[in-house]
Amino acid sequence: MGSMQPDVTWPFTDGAFPQDLPAIVQRTVVDGSHPALMVIHDHERDWLLADGLHDPNADGASIVCHLDHVLSLDPSVAALASLPPGHIAERVSRDEPWSIRSWTYEDEMPS
């Protein structure tokens, strides 16, 4: 699978997310019913945001939208613009600090 971001270079200019950057975002995060508690910048340079509570892979659970929509609801996500590809940022609530570690899709892990 290829990146949704073929023309976006990381690290971002000025250390900020580009305007209109597409991301795969769980609907519960986009509609504001739950904060983003997981942010993944995958090896393909795509951004994925989830609430950490519900399955983001369930049918209809996630959509592609501009990251600006999430930033307007939760400006603290902006601090993750420097998150390197292949990493995940997690937190237990909107008020807690982000914890960052390396990350890969389960099917890409060595057996």
> How many whole angstroms separate alpha carbon 45 and alpha carbon 57?
19
Instruction: For residue 1, count CB atoms less than 10 angstroms from its CB and return exposed for 0-12, middle for 13-18, buried for 19 or more.
Output: exposed
| Strand order across the 22-26 sheet | 62-66, 22-26, 47-50, 38-41, 87-90, 99-102
Q: What pTM did the predictor assign?
A: 0.89
Residues 49-69: tens digit of each pLDDT:
999 999 999 999 999 999 999
Q: Is 35 helix (H, G, I), strand (E, B) or coil?
A: coil
Give the type of residue at 4. M
* Model confidence pLDDT, tens digit, residues 1-41: 567 766 788 899 899 999 899 999 999 999 999 999 999 99
